[in-house]
Amino acid sequence: MGGNSHHVQSRLVLVLLFSVLNMCFASRIVEQQQNNYQLLRYHNGALLQGTISVNLIWYGSFKPSQRAIVSDFIASLSDSSAATPNNPSVATWWKSVEKYYHLANSKNKPSLRLGKQILDDKYSLGKSLSDKQIVQLASKGDQKNAINVVLTASDVAVAGFCVNRCGTHGSKSSSILKGKNQKFAYIWVGNSETQCPGYCAWPFHQPIYGPQNPPLRSPNNDVGIDGLVTVLSGLLAGTATNPFGNGFYQGPATAPLEAASACPGVYGKGAYPGYAGDLLLDPTTGCSYNAHGAGGRKYLVSAIFDPSTSKCSTLV
β-strand partners of 313: 304
pLDDT at position 100: 95
What is the average pLDDT across 59-70? 98
- For residue 105, the 8-state DSSP code is T
pLDDT tens digit sequence for 5-20: 555 454 544 444 444 4
The number of angstroms, rounded, from the C-alpha of 84 to the middle of its chain's C-alpha atoms is: 24
* Residues 86, 47 contacting (CB under 8 angstroms): no
Amino acid at 225: I
pLDDT tens digit sequence for 246-275: 999 999 988 999 999 999 999 999 999 999
pLDDT at position 222: 98
Dump strand ranges (E) for the chain: 41-42, 50-59, 110-120, 128-129, 146-152, 157-158, 167-173, 183-190, 248-249, 280-281, 288-289, 291-292, 298-299, 304-306, 311-313
% of the chain residues with pLDDT over 70: 84
Distance CA 80, CA 312 (A): 23
What is the average pLDDT across 155-173? 96
3-state secondary structure of 134: helix
Nearest to 190 by CA among 209, 168, 215, 172: 168
β 280-281/288-289 pair status: antiparallel
Name the pTM for this structure: 0.86
pLDDT tens digit sequence for 181-199: 678 999 999 999 999 999 9
pLDDT at position 174: 79
pLDDT at position 4: 53
β 110-120/50-59 pair status: parallel
Q: What are residue 296's phi and psi, to 5 degrees?
A: 80, 5
CB neighbourhood size of 40 (10 A) = 24
In angstroms, the first-to-last Cα distance of the chain is 71
Q: Can you list the pairs that 304-310 forms with residues at least 24 positions away whose Cβ atoms lie under 8 Å?
A: 304/93, 304/96, 304/97, 304/237, 304/259, 304/260, 304/263, 305/40, 305/259, 305/260, 305/262, 305/263, 306/96, 306/99, 307/39, 307/40, 307/99, 307/100, 307/103, 307/248, 308/99, 310/35, 310/38, 310/39
Alpha helices, H only, 39-159: 64-76, 90-95, 99-103, 131-138
pLDDT at position 260: 97
CB neighbourhood size of 214 (10 A) = 7
- For residue 62, the 8-state DSSP code is -
Distance CA 195, CA 155 (A): 8
Distance CA 236, CA 131 (A): 18
- For residue 279, the 8-state DSSP code is -
